[in-house]
Amino acid sequence: PLILTKPTFRLLTRFPGAACAAHKATAFPALPEDEMTPTPTTKPQSILVVDDEPEICQSVQRCLVASGHKVKCASSGNEACRLLETHRFDVVITDILMPDGDGLDLMDACKKVVPTPRIVAISGGGKWMDGGFCLRVAHGFGAHALVPKPFTREQLMAAIG
């Protein structure tokens, strides 16, 4: 039997034609290169990093703190939404597929915050869909920058703009 995780099911129900590999080449064209690689900035920023994989949160946090940014981490979209209620962030870096509140819900919550933070979507995909598809969906939801996993420090720094 086919068993879908909750985040994968939510993405597939929002985008029924997304049922994986058969559609990724034809239904969802690649994004222009300029949308994948924004210009970097040197101004210290307040950044929220959201990923259900602790190693990714810790690695991204170390990189950003070493560059002078203030960083908070959350392990789910729901936890991140609670942080948005009490903290102001210049940038939100979020994974798309997470078990407890996905990155798309978080992106919707970010749009209600004033001023709206820059949204950077990161994804390596999941068991039933590839990362490129997840990032294209995130772009449709308003992500300002897209970074496929795995990524380099340079890609991350360019994306936070």
Q: What's the pLDDT tens digit per position in 76-94?
A: 999 999 999 999 999 999 9
Q: Is the model more confident about 122 or about 39?
A: 122
Q: Which whole number is the average pLDDT over 107-122? A: 94
Query: CB-based burial of residue 13 (10 Å sphere; 0-12 exposed, 13-18 middle, 19+ buried)?
Result: exposed
pTM beyond 0.85: no
Rounded to an integer, what distance in angstroms lies between the CA atom of residue 147 and that of residue 16?
A: 24
